Amino acid sequence: MKDSGIIWPWLRRRIIAVVMLCVAGCALSLVGQPAADWQRTHQPAFRSEELKGIVGQGVLLGMFGGLRSIMADMSWVRAYSYWEKRDRAGSESMMRLAIILDPGNIYFWINAANIIGYDQAHWEIAAREYGGRIKVQDSVKQTLYREYAENALKLLDDCIARFPDDSRAYIYAAQLTRNKLNNIPMEAEYYRRAAECKNRVWFAGRIYAMILGEDMGKPEEALEWYRDYYRRILADKRYENRPDLRQIFQENLEDLEERFSPVPVGDSKK
Amino acid sequence: MNSEYAIEIKGLTKDFRTGLRGVKLRAVEDLTLNIPRNTIYGLLGPNGSGKSTTLKILLGLIPATTGTCLIFGNPAGTAKARSHVGFLPEAPYFYRHLSGRELVRFYARVAGVSRNQLDKQVEEALALVNMTEAAARRVGTYSKGMLQRIGLAQAIVHDPQLVILDEPTAGVDPLGAAAIGEILLAMKKRGKTVILCSHLLGQVEELCDRVAILNKGKLILEGAVEEALARREQQVLTVEKLSDETRLAVTSALESNGAKLVEIAHPRISLEKLFVERLAISSSEKKDEVSNDR
Amino acid sequence: MTDSSLLRVRWIAGNTFVEALRQRFFAFLFLLAAGLAASGMLLRTFNFGQSELKFIADFGFGAMFLFGSILAIVMTVQLFFSELDNRTALTLLAKPVRRWEFVLGKFLGIWTLLGVFIALLGVVLAVMLSIRMPELVESASRNGEPLPFLNLKGLGMFCLLQWFRLGVVAALSLMICSFAQTFLYAVIVSAMGILLCQVQSAGVSAFSKPDQETWVRTLANGVGKVIPDLQLFDLGVPLVLSPAGAPQSAVLSALGYGALYMPVLLFITVFLFSDREI
């Protein structure tokens, strides 16, 4: 016999449970807000176009299953296996996937850029030469070197935008610019930014001054910049108790003055 | 616990929902029943009559649709009511990873037996059901009969006032069943109330003071066993050394006083009683032989 | 909660823990998890430099998450349904055991088991990271690279966070068991539920952008509020490998979130289970 009175208590209890879940979820989301905010800033969400790319790779479930980092690592290991086979498409797609999955790991950005900038042009040339049966012209080679280096630099620029305080990306960008593009002003600029960023490396300042003074023919500007840089470092409270730094800077400055200005300037000793 | 009844059921009805459309199945219909204290009470009925449903409602395992149930004056289904109850379900199944002793200890603690009484009560319960020797073995290695006995032990370990047994002798040999029967009689002597659900009508007849018979969720008979079974319109005379002449004289005397001799037959004992008696005799003969050999 | 209630909960929890521990599934899953975590050591052949520490840590964190979640879901469902299928729940609930004591006891037994699992895996990971760390420091110093960083206290805190996360997973699975009719249904629905909880923050961020339609954004934000966010507990890398660490507010927020969500889910479980017919 049918009886709606028997279904309603059953249904009512479940409706109440769902309502309780919703109310609790809303209330507890306030408790979790600080953690959620921190996650949002340090683990940016995927862009829709990135999502579409990932779906094709078949790693969606693993990624969404909370295994982003491990999927990124495995993608990177796969990229290495493609690297061994000199597979441009395979290695680049796996490297970019690793970057998308774990954009917080600067290792992926830098090494992907190095492989794209230094290796892939040679792979393409080798592929075009069909094992030496065809000779690729030098002009074509230069064009390829340039194209791949520019792709790599674009990746490094994205890396710098994400890690503006890490000097490593600037250094690798400077080296790539020198080795593959022969663009001295651009190289110098990267070294300058490496010297000025929050987690600076000291040698970057010296190299910038050297490039400015010797390669770009601006020795006075180089000396002036380096003296100013030295003053700013000395004034920085973070390096108050670093006599070793003072010695390094003093030696560097004396060396630069010797190169660019044979007569030592009195106030360099201050 | 001032009520004269151990269990009071009034107007109990239980409908089960079958499917999402709300079609209902009525398992118990308007059941009113009072079970006196200090009795062994048989609850009988064919499969699907509502016995198990009634027991589950008493124990709070399923809710009633309408009606009330009290256990020693406490609403059935509450923890307080259940604290006075020991229950052995039909075809019991227990945690296989525990030994028999561990199992009984677990249920004793859960039922509220205090730590300083625990060992004593556990060993008493095990001894009562003759499971002391097997108590160290894992429950997963027990036979069906042993499971029934350990189940009885867990039901009585906390010394409840009311014990509910659902088919306690299913799968148990006649000797074991007889032993269980003795235990139930001993419990009654100690003032306990026992509810026995069983399809073994012979055992129910022998043990129970009162019975209730259910069919399709309704109570069709309730009362004392003796009253229910007696044929008031007839009497039985048990006679020894009846010769043919004496038989004729008795028949003639009965007829002259308006009575009628319906049947002359030899009284029968039950097969179960015969079995138990014979085994007991055989055991005592063997003991005599052994002591004579010595 | 009276003393006797506490005792009953404790006894049920203890029995549940022992029953779970004696099952081969736990040992099997632990070995798999430890194997995955340890396989991070094989990465030294790739010469990742100081980043290798992150690779090892990622494998360990992933093992904790993946196998811990499987353990939490399957064990919870199995231990709950075995009571109903085998009718041991019949015998237990016929004692003066209240439904909430049964649910809480079951949960605490399972949560303790998950704690043991996380602790053991944490030890494995700590050992591996500690072995590799000095070698990587020496290599980085030689090559003039930034030195790797390892915070074992942070690893301890991360293990605590994972224990809380798995507690939420177990409580959610228990809630689903309270109304599920079959083991398979409970496992599948629980697994999908956990996946949803892990995905929700990414989905909400993706679908609540200004370029999306209003109803999509409203729905995404609403869903984000209602479904538990398990990604809050993903603080492994900052806690263990970053000198800056994770902000205390984020850690306390995640712990508080887990600590409050578990009793809420258990309350709803008891509410649904209280009228379940045994």
| Each residue's pLDDT tens digit, B71-91 | 999 999 899 999 999 999 988
> Nearest CA to CA, how far is A23 from chain B (Å)?
27
Residue B256 lies in a domain: yes
Kindly indicate the confidence band of residue B272, based on its pLDDT and cuts at 50, 70 and 90: low
CB contact under 8 A, C66 and A13: no
Residue B180 lies in a domain: no
Looking at the DSSP bridge assignments, the partners of residue B43 are B197, B212
Residue B246 lies in a domain: yes
CB contact under 8 A, C247 and A38: yes
Lowest mean pLDDT among A216-220, B125-129, C35-39: C35-39
Residue B133 lies in a domain: no
Angle at A149 between CA A145 and CA A154, to 5 degrees: 155
Specify whether the CB–CB gap between A81 and C30 falls below 8 A.
Answer: no
Q: How far apart are CA A153 and CA A140, in angstroms?
A: 20
Q: How far apart are CA C223 and CA A22, in angstroms?
A: 9
Average pLDDT over residues B213-230: 82
Residue B248 lies in a domain: yes
Domain housing B254 = 236-265
DSSP class per residue in chain A = -B-HHHHHHHHHHHHHHHHHHHHHHHHHHHHTHHHHHHHHHHSPPPPHHHHHHHHHHT-HHHHHTT-HHHHHHHHHHHHHHHHHTT-HHHHHHHHHHHHHH-TT-HHHHHHHHHIIIIIIHHHHHHHHTGGGTS---HHHHHHHHHHHHHHHHHHHHHHHHH-TTBHHHHHHHHHHIIIII--HHHHHHHHHHHHHSTB--HHHHHHHHHIIIIISS-HHHHHHHHHHHHHHHHH-GGGTT-HHHHHHHHHHHHHHHHHH-SSPPGGGG-
Copy the structure tokens of residue B188.
């009654």
pLDDT tens digits, one per residue of A168-226: 999 999 999 999 999 999 999 999 999 999 888 888 999 999 999 999 999 999 999 99
Angle at C211 between CA C209 and CA C217, to 5 degrees: 50
CB contact under 8 A, A36 and C232: yes
Instruction: Please report residues of C whose CB lies closer than 8 A to that of A21.
Output: 226, 268
Question: What's residue B22's pLDDT?
Answer: 63
Q: Which residue of B lies nearest to C21 if distances are taken between CA atoms?
A: B97
Query: Would an 8 Å CB–CB cutoff place B17 in contact with chain C?
Result: no
**Sequence spans of domains, chain A:** 1-103
Closest by CA to A209, choosing from A255, A149, A159, A264, is: A255
Copy the structure tokens of residue C154.
């942070």
Query: Would an 8 Å CB–CB cutoff place B77 in contact with chain C?
Result: no
Q: How far apart are CA C238 and CA B91, in angstroms?
A: 56
Query: Would an 8 Å CB–CB cutoff place B62 in contact with chain A?
Result: no
CB contact under 8 A, B97 and C94: no
Query: Would an 8 Å CB–CB cutoff place A81 in contact with chain C?
Result: no
Chain A residues 2-21 with CB within 8 Å of chain B: 2-7, 10
Q: How far is CA A108 from the centre of its chain?
A: 8
| Nearest by CB: C249 against A28, A34, A69 | A34
Specify whether the CB–CB gap between B137 and B100 falls below 8 A.
Answer: yes
DSSP class per residue in B121-152 = HHHHHHHHTT-TGGGGSBGGG--HHHHHHHHH
Q: How far apart are CA A125 and CA A104, in angstroms?
A: 33
Query: Would an 8 Å CB–CB cutoff place A7 in contact with chain C?
Result: no
First to last CA, chain A: 103
pLDDT tens digits, one per residue of A12-31: 999 999 999 999 999 999 99
**Sequence spans of domains, chain C:** 3-273
Question: What's residue B243's pLDDT?
Answer: 87
Question: What's residue A269's pLDDT?
Answer: 46
Query: Would an 8 Å CB–CB cutoff place B61 in contact with chain C?
Result: yes
Query: Would an 8 Å CB–CB cutoff place C192 in contact with chain B?
Result: no
Specify whether the CB–CB gap between A215 and A229 falls below 8 A.
Answer: no
CA atoms lying within 13 Å on the CB side of residue B100: 25
Q: How far apart are CA A107 and CA A69, in angstroms?
A: 13
Kindly indicate the confidence band of residue A127, based on its pLDDT and cuts at 50, 70 and 90: confident
Contacts of C134 (CB under 8 A, 6+ apart): none
| Nearest by CB: B62 against C4, C8, C277 | C277
Q: In what order do the strands lie in the sheet with B218-224?
A: B85-88, B162-166, B193-197, B40-44, B210-215, B218-224
Chain B residues 6-25 with CB within 8 Å of chain A: 15, 17, 20-24
Query: Would an 8 Å CB–CB cutoff place C58 in contact with chain A?
Result: yes
Task: Name the average pLDDT for chain C.
Answer: 90
Counting residues of chain A whose pLDDT is more than 90, the rounded percentage is 53
Helix (H) or strand (E) holding B107: helix B100-110
Strand B210-215 relative to strand B218-224, pairing: antiparallel
Task: Name the average pLDDT for chain A.
Answer: 85
Question: What's residue A188's pLDDT?
Answer: 96
pLDDT tens digits, one per residue of C142-180: 877 778 899 999 999 999 999 999 999 999 999 999 999
> Nearest CA to CA, how far is C260 from chain A (Å)?
7
